[in-house]
Amino acid sequence: MKEPYITTAIPYVNGKPHLGHAMDYLLADTLRRYMMYCGKKVRLQAGTDEHGNKIFKKAAEQGVDIQDFVDQNALKFQDFIHSLGVEYTDFIRTTDPDHERRCQAIWEKLSDHIYKDKYEGWYCEGCEGYVTDKEYEDNHGECPDHKKPYIKLSEENYYLRISDFKERIREAIETDELKITPVFRKKEFLNLLKDMPDVSISRPKEQVEWGIPVPGDDSQVMYVWIDALSNYITILGYPDKDISDYWPAHTQIVGKDILRFHAGIWPAMLLGLDLPLSHNLLAHGFVTVNGEKMSKSIGNVVDPVEILDKHGLTPFRYFFLRHASTTDDADFTWDKYEASYNELANDLGNLVQRLATLCKKNSISGQKVEKRENPDFDARMEKYEFNFAFDILWEGIAELNKRIDAEKPWALAKTDPEKAKEVLTKLVVDLLAINDRLAIFLPDTAKQIADVFTATEIQPPATPLFPKN
């Protein structure tokens, strides 16, 4: 294994990015920065899922050529990822010719586990997926994510024989060989796995023409999920290249709604290809807005660009990484966002301004960054409890604020200047030690703070880091 490999779900490009999409990227970026902090080089994939009816219909509705449509939207996603301060090493588009060709090779390699059959069942166009009769009944005939009635589809399709791998998948999940976080989702999935039928992995071309052709059968195209899931390895070059330097992935990050594809179909594909299963599957919760589910299909989406424009990137990352749990749903409201911004300004912004001003007055020079151990922080990060790890850093920041208040270096400067210098220098060293890990969450701000407190002469920032509204 050369470099740990982290993957993100590849969003459908039937529209522009929405707030929910930010979660995958922020979590992946945080994990990547943490691993890099621990001295590792990391490969991080991102990309776009560009085939399927949903996208084809959207382009037709807008009267745009399908290729132009996906090209434009793929660019919007790349811009969006950059605007979140997220750095990926690889970007895959499922319409890349290399991906399409490799996907066909994957299909051929899976042929021992593929058969043709007629199928009739309930299908959600929003999910691009069938549901079991039980799910249909439990949800009263309507997809809870897309608020659309399931439709009955009857097709002659190719199937992947999930039953060939079910027991092996169950065992891998139960023993944490394929570790699903959080545990309640692992349990939920193991329940679902019991009734998981073989999956249909193709669609008749007359129904879906925007897809990768099934090798050797012109009448069928690949089911979009087979095409999409393959991205995680086609981007590494599979099957043309040996991917063992990167695969199995260290962590695959997905939203809770698509865990079942990643814990069921994907492991079946990997086993069919004789490839090892990923080590970790992290399923994050959903971002809701004012307590309501947000989805492209429902249309109640908040534009993340509007939030980014309000106070810039750091407050955005602060809110979604500290005040959103890594694994549960997180609610966004403008009130909560403003409160989070004020907290950032009061706790961190003021500390930097105050301490730098005192340092300047007392001619304290910049200090070196000390790497410090913090097993509690590491334990939280390793369990993917990023928001709790972030809390640990914030406790450190609160501590520094308390120390300034208690030790009153401005008063000491009058009575015991040497002691004042000692107190301030120690505060700077301690802040820099915290800031070193703050860079995992808030890279831009951490860089500004490091610049201030490692400079030959400490100067407060010309404008406060987080100006008051």
Per the annotation, the verdict on 82 as an active-site residue is no
Q: Which is nearer to ligand MSP, 330 or 348 (CB)?
A: 330
122-134: burial string, b at 16+ Cβ within 10 Å, e else: bbbbbbbbbbeee
For position 126 contacting ligand MSP by CB under 6 A, the verdict is no
Per the annotation, the verdict on 140 as an active-site residue is no
Q: Which stretch binds ligand MSP (CB under 6 A): 66-74, 192-200, 225-233, 311-319?
A: 225-233
For position 286 contacting ligand MSP by CB under 6 A, the verdict is yes
Q: Distances from the Cα of 75 to the Cαs of 6, 7, 101, 102, 257, in angstroms? A: 21, 19, 22, 23, 25
With CB under 6 A as the contact rule, the residue among 5, 6, 12, 396 that binds ligand MSP is 12
Enumerate residues 42-61 that contact ligand MSP by CB under 6 A: 49
Residue whose Cβ sits closest to ligand MSP: 255
With CB under 6 A as the contact rule, the residue among 4, 5, 6, 11 that binds ligand MSP is 11
Per the annotation, the verdict on 103 as an active-site residue is no
Query: How many degrees, rounded to 5, is the angle at CA 68 between CA 20 and CA 130?
Result: 50
Per the annotation, the verdict on 414 as an active-site residue is no
Per the annotation, the verdict on 293 as an active-site residue is yes
Catalytic annotation, pick one of 16, 148, 293, 421: 293
Euclidean distance between CA atoms 382 and 398, whole angstroms: 24
Chain centroid to Cα 213, Å, comes to: 30
For position 10 contacting ligand MSP by CB under 6 A, the verdict is yes
Tell me 124's DSSP state.
E
Catalytic annotation, pick one of 58, 186, 262, 296: 296
Q: Which stretch binds ligand MSP (CB under 6 A): 68-76, 255-263, 385-393, 434-442?
A: 255-263
Per the annotation, the verdict on 146 as an active-site residue is yes
Query: What SS3 state is found at 253?
Result: strand
For position 287 contacting ligand MSP by CB under 6 A, the verdict is yes
Rounded to a whole number of angstroms, the minimum distance from the CB of residue 11 to ligand MSP is 3
Give the sheet arrangement for strand 5-8, strand by strand: 90-93, 43-48, 5-8, 251-255, 280-284, 179-181
For position 258 contacting ligand MSP by CB under 6 A, the verdict is yes
Euclidean distance between CA atoms 49 and 14, whole angstroms: 9
Name 416's Cβ contacts closer than 8 Å, sequence gap at least 6.
none
Tell me 439's DSSP state.
T
Query: What SS3 state is found at 342?
Result: helix
Per the annotation, the verdict on 143 as an active-site residue is yes
Q: Which residue has the tokens 């166009």?
A: 125
For position 263 contacting ligand MSP by CB under 6 A, the verdict is no
For position 243 contacting ligand MSP by CB under 6 A, the verdict is no
Q: Any idea which residues carry the catalytic annotation?
A: 18, 21, 124, 127, 143, 146, 293, 296
Chain residues binding ligand MSP by CB under 6 A are: 9-12, 20-21, 23-24, 49, 228-229, 231, 254-255, 257-258, 286-287, 294
